[in-house]
Amino acid sequence: MGKKDISYWEQRQELTYLAGEKKVNEYYKGLQESFEQAKKEIQSVINNFHIRYAKENKVSYTEAQKLLDKAEIGELKDFIDKVNKHMGEYNLELNNISIKARITRYQALEKQIDAILQQLYAIEYQYKGEETLKEIYEDSYYRTWFSIDTYKGFHQEFAQINPRTIEELIKYPWNGANFSTRIWKQKDHLLQALAENITTMLIQGRDPQTLARDFAKKFNTKEYEAYRLLHTESSFIIEQGTLAAYKEDGVEKYQILATLDNRTSDICRSEDGKIYDVDKATVGVNYPPYHPFCRTTTIPYYEDDDISDDTRVAKDSATGKSYEVPADMKYEEWYDKYVKDNPEALLAEKKWKNRRTDQKQYERYKGVLGKNLGVKSLDEFQELKYTNNDKWNELKAEYHIISRGKYLQEQFAYIYNGEKLFIPKNTVFETVKVIAGGNSGVQLRVKEALSKKYGGNPEDWKKKVGKIESAKYIFDMHWYELNGKQYEMKLKNRSDKK
């Protein structure tokens, strides 16, 4: 075949990947809106439940366990029928939602929430998601075939795609479970998590508005899981469309093509440049995707091609700019030459590998230190952490003092024997002890009042005592605390230091 142009294939496979990614992102944008709508509907039915059955602004667990009357059962059936009617427009129906003659108020609420989630996951997530994956498969298949024909310099008639082929691929458990199974596992987990929150609300007699933050966190988690699953499944479908085109057009071998940058996983680094038989392709073993969010792809391999003058694209780990390297350079060779002895590139790689743990750490530090953290983004946080050792050690020490409640967060003014005095902000407590709430074994009686006044989960509130020593005095302090932040600081006693 003569000259082989890897850059030709690299560009076309990138276009195929980007086209699939665009379709997924467009679909996911709509899915996010559907998640938000479902969250609002669930909060609405919970609010209605509270308004209907509340006594003295509380719904006790006992009240929630009372049976529905005949009229209430009729209303529940109307609600379920309305959801079923909408699902019927997609030839779908609710699963495992039967209305019995004896059903409690709480069970009815659970069934309403389950129906809303089933509608979300069945229509917006699975049905529309599968339609998107079918479009991605067709696009990948025809793009690859067209690229092969263009490369060969002649065209042969395309073989039409059998719709059942795509459906079977979507059902195929290539990563331990198929698309549908993973979706419904996510739904069941979300339903269980929401039910636990609602049960806690009833037992503690809390207002349903206190659930808003926890609900938002749980829905955000499931949205990310959906994003992760969709991108992983789309990578699988794209590569299966490519593989089908290889087989139809007589390509016998393929070559693994990983991305030459610091974000590439260890398995993809080791697979880069390897050549395999098309008829022996096995996903996750010698054919991509190898893992979630996998960017590795493949290109046709022709043994009689010459790649001596060809190039492939790499990305500078520090600047993000692209440049060309010899086509036969494998990932490990590229790493040894351009990254291994480059401090800036190694730092960029370290930041990328640690991004998830660093993000969580950044959120913790921001929550405790606030503006005193001195950085406003994850990038700035990582830069400080990995390039300014002295400042980072100071920040860690300050974080640990404050997070353990051993630090007076605000200046404390007090009057003693008619004299106006104060204890400076940032004064360190010599000792700190939890006397109510938390793991103290003592119930904090005012936790509900604190939650309504300042926010937060009542169970997260604590009462603490601490001792501050100056050159002359010993101060016994009492305060309430939520997630490391001090509230209602009081001076219980000041004694002379002996």
Q: What is the pLDDT of residues 417-438, one digit of tens each?
A: 889 999 998 788 888 899 999 8
Q: What angle do CA 142, 147, 151 make, to 5 degrees?
A: 150
Percent of the chain whose pLDDT exceeds 90: 61
Long-range interactions of 98-103: CB distance < 8 A, separation 24+: 99/73, 101/73, 102/67, 103/67, 103/68, 103/73, 103/76
Whole-number pLDDT of residue 3: 47
Q: What is the enclosing helix (H) or strand (E) of 481?
A: strand 473-482
> Residue 451 and residue 466: Cα distance in Å, rounded?
22
The mean pLDDT value of the chain amounts to: 89
Least confident of 215-224, 345-354, 404-413: 404-413
> Residue 281 and residue 288: Cα distance in Å, rounded?
9
Burial of 347 (0-12, 13-18, 19+ CB in 10 A): middle
Burial of 258 (0-12, 13-18, 19+ CB in 10 A): buried
Instruction: Please say whether the beta carbons of 94 and 80 come within 8 A.
Output: yes
Whole-number pLDDT of residue 389: 94
Q: Residue 2: which pLDDT band, with cuts at 50, 70 and 90?
A: very low
> How does pLDDT run across 312-355, given as a tens digit for each residue?
999 987 788 999 999 899 999 999 999 999 999 999 999 999 99
175 by DSSP, 3-state: which?
A: coil
| pLDDT at 157 > cutoff 70 | no
Whole-number pLDDT of residue 112: 95
Least confident of 3-7, 149-153, 296-300, 369-373: 3-7
Q: Which two tokens stand for residue 37?
A: 């709508």
| pLDDT at 1 > cutoff 50 | no
Number of H helices, E strands in the chain: 15, 13
Distance from chain centroid for Cα 484:
25
Q: Residue 453: which pLDDT band, with cuts at 50, 70 and 90?
A: confident
465 by DSSP, 3-state: which?
A: strand
